[in-house]
Amino acid sequence: MWKPAPYRSVKEIIHFLVVNPFRTENEIQEQVFGYYRSGNFYSNKKYADMLRRGMDKGLIKRIYWKRKSDSRPLYRYYVPSSANINM
């Protein structure tokens, strides 16, 4: 029987990042929503847009994290202390 997908919000990402700061976008999607980008053929647009909305509102920030072995940019996300939200 068909079951509707659970409602998802930016609050879930914020709660996760308060406890686990400086995570990558992949880690956030895997651990918060159970969405694995490499093993899934569905689009991650829903979760990526959710993360961007949190950044636009100033609830989530990101920093550039340079890896030694790779030249690709890697960003880590965190909740700034000024955005301490009691949700």
Query: Is pLDDT above 60 for 83?
Result: no
Structural domains in the chain, sorted by start: 10-82 (1.10.10.10)
Q: What is the mean pLDDT of the chain?
A: 83
8 Å CB contact between 17 and 77: yes
Query: Is pLDDT above 80 for 80?
Result: yes
pLDDT digits (tens, 9 = 90+) for 14-53: 999 999 999 999 999 999 988 887 776 677 788 889 999 9
Model-level pTM? 0.79
Average pLDDT for 43-70: 87
Long-range CB contacts (within 8 A, 24+) of 19-24: 21/78, 21/79, 22/63, 22/65, 22/76, 22/77, 22/78, 23/76, 23/77, 23/78, 24/74, 24/75, 24/76, 24/77
